Amino acid sequence: MQAHRALLETDEQGRLKELPVLPPRTRVEAIFLVLEEPPSSPTVVRRPPAELAGLQILGDVIAPAIDEPDWSVNDA
């Protein structure tokens, strides 16, 4: 058994707009999962909170807080 994915669309009456092309002389089992439509809201531009205005980052925010030799892993 092989799986083939086909995304089908329907019109206003729920009828298929196009039929998929299938292999000749085969039996096909179909399970239909109805996809939920994404909400049609306008794109929102995200901005940082006003409380963060003027915030200054001091030092390296990527470096680890504890040096590697200070880790007590495998010191049992």
The string of pLDDT tens digits covering residues 50-64 is 888 888 888 888 888
CA 67 to CA 60: how far, in whole Å?
13
DSSP H/E element including 27: none
Domain range list for the chain:
1-35
The string of pLDDT tens digits covering residues 34-50 is 888 766 667 788 888 88
pLDDT greater than 70 at residue 74:
no
Bridge partner residues of 16 (DSSP): 10
The string of pLDDT tens digits covering residues 9-20 is 888 898 999 988
User: Given pLDDT bands bounded at 50, 70 and 90, which one contains residue 25?
Assistant: very high
Q: What are phi and psi of 51, to 5 degrees?
A: -65, -25
